[in-house]
Amino acid sequence: MEYSLVCHSLYALWSSPVKKKLILLSIMFLIWVYMLYSCVGYCSTMPSLVVDSYRGKETVSAVGKRTESGRTDLVSRLLAKPQPWEDIESDYEEPSIRTAASRDLLDNEMDMDRAEDWDEMRGEQQRAPEPSAMSSFSNGSGSKKLPQAIIIGVKKGGTRALLEFLRVHPDIRAVGAEPHFFDRNYDNGLEWYRELMPKTLEGQITMEKTPSYFVTREAPARISAMSRDTKLIVVVRDPVTRAISDYTQTLSKKPDIPSFESLTFKNRTTGLIDTSWSAIQIGIYAKHLDNWLHYFPMEQILFVSGERLISDPAGELGRVQDFLGLKRIITDKHFYFNQTKGFPCLKKAEGSSKPHCLGKTKGRTHPNIDPEVVQRLRDFYRPFNMKFYQMTGHNFGWD
């Protein structure tokens, strides 16, 4: 009898047109609230595009502004000038004052790096579909953390490819745009930096990549002040090929710049290399690494081969996953080789069921360089490469 009354009441409630509409509207409202919450969770994981980080302002050390007890003294010790690097017998000269042309070219390169970073971010946003509602719901419940791992270099070495590949891993969350916190935006403070990071759940690793950190003298001390446990990843590439690639990027934006040959030499007749040009200076890996070893042990730095990242991406990604203490989830099945671009591509990118290759800014055709200039550069870099092999305990086979 009671069961019949309940059924009769429910039938009467549902049969009423007005009440039926109210129930349907209530259900639709609940669904809308759920979708809104999921969207907020997803948006919070998207890389933050902060205009200040691309204004090109030169920053100074703001370590002294920290208010934590005892923090200033610690960082002051960390920022003490490192011991002078032992010069290798070579015609290398420590750059002193840049010429006006060198300064202008460096400024142009920095502007182009920012522009290219924006292009990459726009490409990511255009290709990235909405993740599942459950995935968005989970991400929304996470929290923003300072990065536990950073790709610190090197420019034109393959850092963008590495980051894109790593983002396939479910336990890695990475900001897409380069924050440039430890070189250009340090005076904005760690909370500003934290807000750029995506939300992560327990057990996930927060990452970022800014290739210019590797050649920034202040970066090692600043990262160490944030956390001495930070894991560092450096993608290195044949310094001669890297320099040509660097020049090619600049040339694509500024077709009227001087030739590669004229920028390479201080004096073509004597063959003296102009190390004040950033394209040349970045490739002196041993010198830059020595600065980092004053603050981090070699065990916390992983060197990824830019060449093998192309020829064997799964193998290099396996090493990176081991270094980060993660399960090897990214394997051969995630890649295919694009013959047109000459690069490996992802069969399925992060949050997508479609294949994805790096953007049009990657894989540019290099200009023809005088073979004598190339050989002179190889001779110049050889002693530095040998020193780098000794420091890392690995022969990258560039000579």
Q: What letter represents residue 80's amino acid?
A: A
Mean local confidence (pLDDT), 290-305:
98
Alpha carbon distance 319, 366 (integer Å): 29
Interval 131-182: pLDDT, tens: 333 343 444 579 999 999 999 999 999 999 999 999 999 999 999 899 999 9
Mean local confidence (pLDDT), 334-358:
75
Q: Tell me the range of 74-83, 172-181, 354-363 where mean pLDDT is highest.
A: 172-181
Residue 379's pLDDT is: 97
Neighbours of 345 (CB within 10 A): 19
Here the tokens at position 290 are 């020595």
pLDDT at 310 over 70: yes
Neighbours of 32 (CB within 10 A): 10
Contact indicator for 109, 278 with CB cutoff of 8 Å: yes
Residue 25's pLDDT is: 82
Alpha carbon distance 99, 107 (integer Å): 12
Mean local confidence (pLDDT), 28-47:
63
Of residues 29 and 69, more confidence is placed in 29
pLDDT band at 8 (very low <50, low <70, confident <90, very high): low
In this structure, of 80-94, 284-298, 301-315, 322-336, the range with the lowest mean pLDDT score is 80-94
Mean local confidence (pLDDT), 324-343:
88
Residue 305's pLDDT is: 98
Neighbours of 240 (CB within 10 A): 21
* Active site residue ranges: 156
142 carries a ligand binding annotation: no
Interval 212-241: pLDDT, tens: 999 999 999 999 999 999 999 999 999 999
Provide the strand spans (E) within the chain.
143-144, 149-153, 172-174, 199-200, 205-209, 231-236, 265-267, 272-273, 301-305, 335-338, 343-346
Mean local confidence (pLDDT), 190-218:
97
Alpha carbon distance 165, 169 (integer Å): 8
pLDDT band at 64 (very low <50, low <70, confident <90, very high): very low
What is the pLDDT of the chain when averaged over all its residues? 78
The gap from C-alpha 201 to its chain's centroid, in whole angstroms, comes to: 21
Distances (CA, A) of 151 to 47, 211, 324, 385: 16, 7, 12, 21
* pLDDT > 70 fraction of the chain, expressed in percent and rounded: 66
230 carries a ligand binding annotation: no
Contact indicator for 399, 378 with CB cutoff of 8 Å: yes
pLDDT at 65 over 90: no
158 carries a ligand binding annotation: yes
354 carries a ligand binding annotation: no
pLDDT at 314 over 90: yes
319 carries a ligand binding annotation: no
* pLDDT > 90 fraction of the chain, expressed in percent and rounded: 54
242 carries a ligand binding annotation: no
pLDDT at 11 over 90: no
